[in-house]
Amino acid sequence: MRHNNRFANGDPSNDKVTGMKEGINRKEPFGRHGGDIKGITDNLDYLSKMGFTSIWLNPVLENVSLKIDDSIFAETEKILSRIKKPRNRYINEAIDYYNRLQRRLFLERRLKKESELVKDDSMTVLKDFEEIDYVD
């Protein structure tokens, strides 16, 4: 189990957190879903029937609210209103895109480096191959 927030909401009384802007919205894939430790313990039989023999949770902690002035998001909000996406989804998709781009750049650098390592051998093999005299 990766995120107890996504599993089961066993104690709705802890869903509303003072000072937290985002409430519970199970329809929003990137939003808060309200799952908690009580939801897990209430469903241990279910998890056992699924074959789980142990549960390893992410660290249980309270998210830090940065109290950022919303005015800095004005341009982002304009974009979001045009593309009809929630802020969290937009940010998560941007992070996902960035990570995929970084992976591609890493693989390109690695391929270039490894290509340089085998270039001389490859050229020798190609030269030997081209010098083969085929017999009819």
Mean pLDDT, to the nearest integer, of 66-79? 70
- What percent of the residues of the chain are helix, what percent strand, and what percent coil, each to the nearest 5? 55, 0, 45
- Supply the Cα-derived Rg of the chain in whole angstroms: 26
Is residue 48 within 8 A of residue 40, CB to CB? The reply is no
Q: Are 23 and 15 in contact (CB under 8 A)?
A: yes
Whether the pTM exceeds 0.85: the reply is no
pLDDT in tens, 77-97: 888 888 888 888 888 888 899
* Span 21-59, pLDDT tens digits: 777 777 877 777 788 889 989 999 999 999 988 888 876
